[in-house]
Amino acid sequence: VTSAVPLQYRQIFLRQRPDGIPQAEHFGIRTVPTPELGEGQFLVRVHYLSVDPAMRGWLSAAGNYFTPVPIGGVMSSFASGEVMLSRHEGYPVGARLMGMFGWQEYAVCDGSEVKRRIQDADEPLSLSLGILGLNGLTAYFGLMDVGRPIAGDTVVVSTAAGAVGSAVGQIARIQGCRVIGIAGGPEKVRWCKDIGYDFAIDYKQGDLGSRLSALCPDGVNVYFDNTSGEISDAVLPLLAVGARVAVCGTASVSSWSPWPMGPRVARHLLVKRARMQGFLCMDYEARYNEGIIALKSWIKRGRLKHREDILDGLERAPGSIADLYRGDNAGKRLIRLVA
């Protein structure tokens, strides 16, 4: 086993704190020696790195839920891989894991980084970062627990073709809802329809408010909001009485400081007796297993489709967050380190 472990490996570190959306030049790449493992430690060979819009927040000092990655620190990231060397009884060589291993080829761990063990030998490691990881779980808990869909509801989803959004739309369909997706560009609109959205709108064509209004004569019962900004400005006036708005992400807001001003929504919430609630997937950590079981069973029955958008090589990671904010990804964006 020892012979398979290299003497050194590469990692991506934060060179300079970004002001807005992180770009490639904010990161550096360096080679470090593989350390000797201490008692209770193990070494994970990382196969896939996750790229998530939220990573922008992990670098920002403004209004956040994590201590920002320090200058010179390894970029934090969900990742999946396999234990190569171990001095920890609980994590033997060969264990397949998903956790916060960071943007690096190998990670020295003590178990605190691990989020999930991938037990099924035939489950691809990439799925634990997408449909069976942060994205699928965010869709599941955000929709079911915050959005609380009821059969017959009209559900509107922004970033409808994305990793989270595409799962939300399909889960809402499984709940018997009428589902409308909002996505950027004709290819994404087509994919939304392929996976079962009743309607999909390309917001880049303009006039979103009136097109959406025509599709929602009885209003919007659930809005799963991944963007905030102008898309939400168009959706919120259309809420139905008793609507639920699950605030999942703010992908359309390019600057957090100052936060852009927009229409004030209090009147819509008041008149429609609507509830708007933010949530973080990690709040549901104690219930992840429930979510994984549901997602797996829908995938198995062909009711939940997903797609992955994979780039090869660690050097692709630094520019990959900005790609998401240009909408360049078609599905879950991953970096593959092991072919």
Is 128 a binder of ligand NAP (CB under 6 A)?
Answer: no
- Quick one: which of 77, 138, 154, 320 contacts ligand NAP (CB under 6 A)? 138
DSSP code, position 70: P
Q: Where are the beta strands (DSSP E) in 270-320?
A: 275-278, 308-312
Identity (one letter) of the amino acid at 10?
A: R
Is 324 a binder of ligand NAP (CB under 6 A)?
Answer: yes
> Which one, 45 or 332, has the nearer CB to ligand NAP?
332
| Closest to 114 in 3D by CA, of 79, 164, 75 | 79
> Which one, 188 or 211, has the nearer CB to ligand NAP?
188
- Quick one: which of 201, 281, 292, 295 contacts ligand NAP (CB under 6 A)? 281
Please state the length of the chain.
339
Identity (one letter) of the amino acid at 77?
A: S
Distance CA 100, CA 160 (A): 26
Distance CA 57, CA 66 (A): 8
Distance CA 241, CA 156 (A): 15
> Which one, 106 or 141, has the nearer CB to ligand NAP?
141
- Quick one: which of 76, 80, 86, 159 contacts ligand NAP (CB under 6 A)? 159
Q: What tokens were used for 222?
A: 């659930």
Is 304 a binder of ligand NAP (CB under 6 A)?
Answer: no
> Which one, 179 or 231, has the nearer CB to ligand NAP?
231
Question: Which residues within the stretch 23-62 sit at the binding site for ligand NAP (CB under 6 A)?
Answer: 52-54
In the complex, the residues that contact ligand NAP under the rule CB under 6 A are 52-54, 134-135, 138, 159, 161-165, 183-185, 188, 226-227, 231, 248-249, 251-252, 279-281, 324-325, 327, 329
